[in-house]
Amino acid sequence: MTDRRELIKKVYIDPIRSVLAIDDEFTSLDNYIAGQVKAPSGIQKDMLANFRQKKWLVDMNDGSGGSSDSISHLHQCDLLVVDYHLNRADETDNSQSLDIIKQLDKNEHFNLVVVYTSATPKEVQTTLAEILSPSKHAFGDFDYSQVTQQLEQWEEATGEQVIDELIGCLSAGDFRKLYSRPELIDTELIVMFSPLEIYLNQNEFTSYENKEILKFIFTKKMENLVAQGLFQGSSAVWTSDGDEYFSVKTSQMFVTVISKDITPDLIPSTLLSALENWYPTSNRLLLAKIRAELEANGVLFEEQILDCKYTNAGWLQQFIDDKIDGTSLTITRLFEVMSKSVQEKIREYADNLKENILIEGYKNSVVLEAKFDPEISEHKVKVNKHLNAYICSKPVSGTHIETGHILKWENSGDVEYLLCLTPICDLVPGREKGWSKKLTPIMPIKVLKLHQSLKNDANQLKEIEKKGHIVFIDGTDIKLLAVTPTGSSSTAMEIEQVFVSEQGRFIVDTDKNLICELQRIVYESPEKSDKGLHYETENCKVVGQLRYEYALNLLSQLGVDLTRIGLDFVKLA
């Protein structure tokens, strides 16, 4: 049996092909090119020999550029080994190594970093954990006490919930822009954050104060989004200690801090021990294996996909067809073919991983990986809901309304979920005919009203295979809804004819939500109002999307409902 350590090694250590080592005592390759020849010696010589023995491509740098910008290929290496102190003139200066690590944490690679130091490794770990926390990651150290006092005085003077109002002015989309590019606070404050700027200017704050308040609001917004599960970034800073290493992990990077007493030949095995102590989940290991296979065998996969010139010509024809979403369709098909090639490559690894889990046991594996007991009733229900949501639905995609899209209708405090069940061939913008053509740019569609069950989640999940249910994720909330009215003897689905604007094309709001303008026919009796039969229009958020096979199944059920005959027949006595 392949043990867990070996499985981790196969996806994190074995794929390493290039290493960049940075130490102020090293001779840089750049110096060789410039003619400043000095043969490697000491730790540089040992490191070079050991890394080359592993068939790794090694580059070495003395860090003399003064910042991470001078090491332009920093993000292109598989492993970075860096000295914690890179200033020859000041052996206590750690600013450059911290700058390098912060820059690495911003790129989209998953980076492996080994920091070796003559300082106390535990203290270095603490410093790294602090500088990689989200607010400091964006703006560095900042004292919010003065801003807090100023805003509290403002609230007291106006009687308004000023802080909440300001947090509301910063959209989740603008928050993410500012998180990834904090320099925008100096260059595009008025353009990007106009609602916040307008609110502040009404109270005659200066531009400088606006920036300081925005930093404060940024932090508060981040806390809210993290609490709602809508943002992770580098917020999940994980730390772990071993006998010879101290680790820090963010979503983008795994850093292992070791003492300079550890010889270069032990760096890979020490890094592996730290990774093993992190205990990456089984699915993370599979994803890492997929990534490694794509990097190692990408050209082979390309050749398999492009093998048939006639199929490729057909894909090209659809790719440029403006009557369909050829871009999404082509990308989906390429991924589909590539996934088959990747599956064949990772099958053996997946089987070994599965064997490892079976020996450990399901319960113990979940406790180790997810830190909860899956046999506790509450957790069991959550696991089942999440699993069924994944099986039944998928992340929302597309540029226009499609079969299986779930719309959230909110009007006067009431919330309804409406599932589009018009055949997808009738939803393509520009393909209208008959009645639909006369209504252009309005498009008629049929939607199924989804219903809340009177039963609790556990009881619904016990009969989920027997009853018609839809499970999907709306934000952070998993919705478990029925396709027929609950508490009723009727098994007929509640279908409604509605209308969408712009032939169902979506609008993308500032938070990157897909929005569809929907019109419903509503009747109000004379006793209630004089409106009678009229339209109500709302911008509906597309909150879910069924997998196509589930949408198709409901579509076929709808066909049966709409073609019933013989309702007044009299059977033979």
Considering only CA atoms, which of 140, 133, 164, 138 is closest in space to residue 151? 164
Closest by Cα among 219, 177, 168, 175 to 196 = 168
Query: 132-144 b/e with 16+ CB inside 10 Å = b?
Result: bebbebbbeeeee
- Which domains, ranges and CATH numbers included, belong to the chain? 4-132+237-278 (3.40.50.2300), 145-227 (no CATH), 282-373 (no CATH), 390-562 (no CATH)
d(CA 222, CA 494): 41
The pLDDT mean for the chain works out to 82
Tell me what pLDDT residue 69 has. 56
pLDDT-derived band at 7, boundaries 50, 70, 90: very high
CB 500 within 8 A of CB 516: yes
Give residue 399's pLDDT: 87
**Percent of the chain clearing pLDDT 70 (strictly above):** 81
Residue 190 has pLDDT above 50, yes or no: no
Write out the two tokens for 358: 């079976």
Rg (CA), the chain: 29
Q: What is the pLDDT of residue 137?
A: 54
pLDDT tens by residue, 126-157: 888 777 776 555 565 566 777 788 778 777 87
Percent share of the chain, pLDDT over 90: 29
- Point out the least confidently predicted range of 338-342, 372-376, 434-438: 434-438
* 28-42, 117-131, 213-227: least confident range: 28-42
Instruction: Find residue 537's DSSP bridge partners.
Output: 519
* Between 231 and 500, the higher pLDDT residue: 500
Closest residue by Cα to residue 292 from 9, 1, 2, 3: 9
| Distance (Å) of CA 507 to CA 14, 230, 418, 492, 504 | 45, 21, 18, 33, 9
pLDDT at 74 over 80: no
**Mean pLDDT over residues 463-473, rounded?**
83
Q: What is the pLDDT of residue 88?
A: 77
Question: H or E segment at 22?
Answer: strand 18-22
| 3-class SS letters over 85-135 | CCCCCCCCCCHHHHHHHHHHCCCCCCEEEEEEECCCHHHHHHHHHHHCCHH
Write out the two tokens for 568.
Answer: 């007044």
- Top-confidence residue, 396 or 132: 396
Three-state DSSP string of 257-274: EEECCCCHHHHHHHHHHH
- Answer whether residue 392 shows pLDDT above 70: yes
Q: Which residue in 221, 324, 258 sits closest to 84, CA to CA?
A: 258
Q: What is the mean pLDDT of residues 41-56?
A: 88
- Residue predicted with more confidence, 562 or 545: 545
Q: Which residues pair with 19 in a beta bridge?
A: 58, 79
pLDDT of residue 207: 47
Spatial neighbors of 385 by CB under 8 A, at least 6 apart, are 457, 461, 471, 478, 480
Cα 11 from Cα 287, distance rounded (Å): 9
User: How far is the C-alpha of 239 from the C-alpha of 216, rounded, in Å?
Assistant: 26
Confidence of residue 183 (pLDDT cuts 50, 70, 90): low
Measured from the Cβ of residue 30, the count of other Cβ atoms closer than 10 Å reads 16
- C-alpha–C-alpha distance, residues 242 and 254, integer Å: 15
Mean local confidence (pLDDT), 430-442: 77
Q: Tokens at residue 285, please?
A: 């290991």
Which residue reads 């704050």 in tokens? 205
Task: Kindly state the tokens that stand for 456.
Answer: 């609790």
Half-sphere exposure of 479 (CA within 13 A, CB side): 23
Average pLDDT over residues 20-38: 73
* One-letter-per-residue 3-state SS of 124-145: HHHHHHHHCCHHHHHHCCCCCH
Question: What's residue 83's pLDDT?
Answer: 92
Q: List the single range of 315-329, 364-378, 531-545 with lowest mean pLDDT.
A: 315-329
Contact (CB, 8 A) for 438 and 359: no
Distance CA 239, CA 569 (A): 73
Dist CA 59 CA 25 (whole Å): 14
Any idea which residue has 């049996």 for tokens?
A: 1
Q: What is the pLDDT of residue 235?
A: 47
Average pLDDT over residues 238-242: 79
User: Among 137-146, 161-170, 378-387, 491-500, which stretch is predicted with the lowest mean pLDDT?
Assistant: 137-146
Q: Model confidence over 85-95: pLDDT tens digits? A: 888 778 788 88
State the pLDDT at residue 209: 60
pLDDT at position 210 over 90 = no
Q: What is the pLDDT, as a whole number, of residue 229?
A: 61
> Left if phi > 0, otherwise alpha if psi is -120 to 50, otherwise beta: which for 410?
beta
Residue 82 has pLDDT above 60, yes or no: yes
Q: Could you give the C-alpha distances from 318 to 322, 323, 339, 396, in angstroms and in order? A: 8, 9, 21, 22
Other beta carbons less than 10 A from residue 301's beta carbon: 19
Least confident residue range of 164-173, 416-425, 444-453, 556-565: 556-565
pLDDT digits (tens, 9 = 90+) for 346-382: 999 999 999 999 999 999 998 888 888 888 888 899 9
Looking at per-residue confidence, does 485 or 381 come out higher? 381
Q: Residue 416 pLDDT more than 90?
A: yes
* C-alpha–C-alpha distance, residues 460 and 467, integer Å: 9
Q: Which long-range contacts (CB under 8 A, 24 or more apart) does 346-352 make?
A: 346/286, 346/289, 346/290, 346/293, 349/7, 349/10, 349/11, 349/286, 349/289, 350/286, 350/289, 352/1, 352/2, 352/7
Structure confidence by residue, pLDDT tens digits, 289-307: 999 988 888 777 788 778 8
> Is the pLDDT at 329 greater than 80, yes or no?
no
